[in-house]
Every structure is written in C-alpha cells, then in structure tokens.
C-alpha cells in the first residue's frame, strides 16, 4: 500500500511540475512578444508616414554664410500644420518640416503623438531665428513656445542645431520645388 501512495504522489508531482513548466513557457513567450502601443496619447500608427520633399531650406549665419541645407516638407495649411510630424517613426538628418503661418505671432508647439525627438526652430518674418528648443521629448504635451513673434517654424531631428552650430540670430532661406 505504501508503494501505491508513493506512486500516486509521484504521478501527482509530475502533473504539477508539467503544469508549472507549461505556464512558465507560456509566460516567457507572451512576455517577449513585441509590445504594441495602447490607444491614447502615446498611440502610434502601424505604418509610418513617408517624407515628401516639397522644397529645400538653407541655414545661414547672421552674416549670411552657408551653414547647412535640408530637404523640407512644407506645412502651409491648418491641416498640415496641425498634423506636423506626428506619427512619423523616423526622419533623416538632412530632412525637416517647415511650418508657414499666415501671420507673425507668438507660436507654441507640442510633441503629442510625435515619436522622434526634435529641435524646434522659430523664425520671424525677416527669416531670422528667434528661438530654438533642442532635444524635445517625444509624446510630451508641454508647450514649446517662441520667445518672440514668429511666422515660420522648422523642425529637424534632435541634435541637428548643435551638430551644425545653428543659433539664435542665424537665418533661413527656403524655396518650394
């Protein structure tokens, strides 16, 4: 009779061990699956919006010496300005977005639904850079504001203004394709 009890205990132990091993394997598989963003403020569309070149923009020093040039998408209507670079998964170093406003005024941007960190450059009607916000935080709903009225805003990848030594007082010149 002792052998039957031992045999039942061994069988029961094997079943419990098997269940634990299967549960562990399932946990590891599910835990290591790619994470999909939850809906809400941090949602990202599955397919990234592709860059569309609308023109070129040149950064110049205050004394009009060439600094660098980027290809730009131009956001010149309410829909494009509202959407901006939201839901973009990446952007090349020599690409950016130029926001053109109908009137010069204090401008304010945020990073809601913006996946990549940016440098945000505010430019007045004389094409002079008046404010730079460097290395903005993705998905941040804080306001990045101009310190002076601006009629244009340029967004480039974070670190661009440091890499090319672009400063307040420098200028932009741009053309549409």
- Sheet order of strands, 129-133 included: 129-133, 118-123, 150-157, 95-105, 66-75, 55-60, 171-176
Q: Residue 174, SS3?
A: strand
In a domain, 12, yes or no: no
Q: How many domains does the chain have?
A: 1
Residue 125 belongs to a domain with what CATH number? 2.60.120.1140
pLDDT tens, per residue, the chain with 177 residues = 555 555 566 677 778 776 777 766 655 555 554 443 444 444 444 456 889 999 999 999 999 999 999 999 999 999 999 999 998 999 999 999 999 999 999 999 999 999 999 999 999 999 999 999 999 999 999 999 999 999 999 999 999 999 999 999 999 999 999
Q: State the pLDDT at residue 14.
A: 77
In a domain, 43, yes or no: no
In a domain, 41, yes or no: no
Q: The domain containing residue 102 runs over which residues?
A: 55-176
In a domain, 111, yes or no: yes
In a domain, 28, yes or no: no
Q: State the pLDDT at residue 40.
A: 44
Q: State the pLDDT at residue 17.
A: 74
Question: Using an 8 Å Cβ cutoff, are 123 and 99 in contact?
Answer: no
In a domain, 153, yes or no: yes
The whole-angstrom separation of Cα 30 and Cα 131 is 46
Q: State the pLDDT at residue 36.
A: 38
């Amino acid at each position: 009779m002792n052998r039957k009890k031992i045999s039942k205990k061994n069988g029961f132990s094997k079943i419990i061990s098997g269940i634990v091993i299967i549960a562990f394997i399932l946990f590891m598989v599910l835990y290591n699956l790619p994470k999909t963003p939850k809906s809400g403020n941090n949602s990202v569309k599955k397919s990234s919006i592709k860059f569309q070149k609308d023109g070129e923009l040149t950064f110049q020093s205050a004394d009009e010496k060439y600094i660098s040039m980027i290809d730009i998408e131009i956001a010149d209507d309410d829909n494009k300005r509202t959407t901006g670079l939201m839901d973009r998964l990446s952007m090349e170093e020599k690409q950016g977005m130029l926001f053109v406003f109908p009137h010069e005024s204090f401008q304010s941007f945020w990073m809601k639904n913006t996946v990549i960190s940016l440098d945000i450059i505010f430019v007045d009607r004389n094409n002079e850079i008046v404010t730079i916000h460097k290395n903005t935080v993705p998905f941040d709903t804080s306001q990045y504001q101009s310190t002076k009225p601006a009629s244009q805003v340029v967004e480039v990848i974070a670190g661009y203004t440091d890499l090319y030594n672009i400063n307040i007082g420098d200028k932009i010149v741009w053309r549409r394709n």
